[in-house]
């Protein structure tokens, strides 16, 4: 790895999936979780929620580290305008997957890059259309017991066994469904003055 002359890079996230994705870029970074209320506002769409939370997470950490470049990200599963977040429990995961079977769900994945010292703050949104199979209750139960995706928006890990739940995925940023759209992340980092390569 070559030595970096860019400002320090911080991932404002507790997600192990986002950390693993960012590691693909082979750049040094630290992880500092943001303490942000992830509740939706009353009239907020799932896309607006994802964008607001990604930017709020990045800004919260950037305030404490103004010379660093901070990445924030958030994902919301969008079922016909209803925001489906992380289920956290088995019962909620069952209910989510029952609602999504046979449906097209849009996974709204936002990434924000903020650097206070450079007065830089931009957000991008990747929208991934996912067609779910017509799942039986037995299939849903078997999947949840095997993978326990209770920390994933929409209760499915496409990078694991969750791929068996799906009929089709349409997107233009392959890592967006996992939780961090790396194409858009690289574009934002370059715009902020960070040397990706």
Predicted TM-score (pTM) of this structure = 0.92
Cα atoms found within 13 Å of the Cα of residue 153, Cβ hemisphere only = 30
pLDDT bracket for residue 39 (50, 70, 90)? confident
- How does strand 30-31 pair with strand 69-79? unpaired
Place of tokens 């759209």: 181
* Ordered DSSP codes for 82-94: EEE----SHHHHH
- State the SS3 of 13-46: CCCHHHHHHHHCCCCCCEECCCCCCCCCCCCCCH
Catalytic option among 37, 74, 137, 172: 74
74 an active-site residue? Answer: yes
Query: What is the average pLDDT score of the chain?
Result: 94
Domain ranges of the chain: 9-191
pLDDT bracket for residue 2 (50, 70, 90)? very low
Count of CB atoms situated within 10 Å of the CB of 151: 14
* Domain boundaries 9-191, CATH class: alpha beta
With residue 54 as reference, give the H or E element that holds it: helix 46-64
pLDDT bracket for residue 115 (50, 70, 90)? very high
Nearest CA among 93, 99, 94, 103 for reference residue 138: 94
């Amino acid at each position: 790895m070559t030595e970096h002359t860019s400002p320090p890079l911080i991932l404002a996230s507790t997600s192990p999936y986002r950390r693993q994705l960012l590691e693909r870029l082979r750049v040094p970074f630290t992880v500092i979780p943001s303490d942000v209320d992830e509740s939706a506002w009353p009239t907020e769409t799932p896309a607006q929620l994802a964008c607001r939370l990604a930017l709020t997470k990045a800004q919260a950490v950037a305030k404490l580290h103004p010379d660093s470049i901070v990445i924030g990200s958030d994902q919301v599963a969008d079922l016909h305008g209803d925001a489906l977040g992380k289920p956290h429990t088995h019962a909620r995961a069952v209910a989510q997957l029952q609602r999504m079977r046979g449906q097209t769900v849009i996974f709204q994945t936002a990434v924000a890059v903020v650097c206070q010292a450079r007065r830089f703050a931009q957000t991008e949104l990747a929208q991934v259309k996912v067609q779910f199979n017509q799942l039986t209750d037995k299939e849903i139960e078997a999947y949840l017991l095997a993978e326990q995706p209770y920390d994933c928006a929409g209760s499915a890990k496409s990078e694991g066994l969750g791929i068996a739940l799906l009929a089709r995925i349409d997107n233009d940023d392959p890592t967006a469904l996992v939780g961090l759209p790396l194409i858009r992340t690289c574009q934002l980092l370059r715009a902020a003055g960070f040397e990706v390569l």
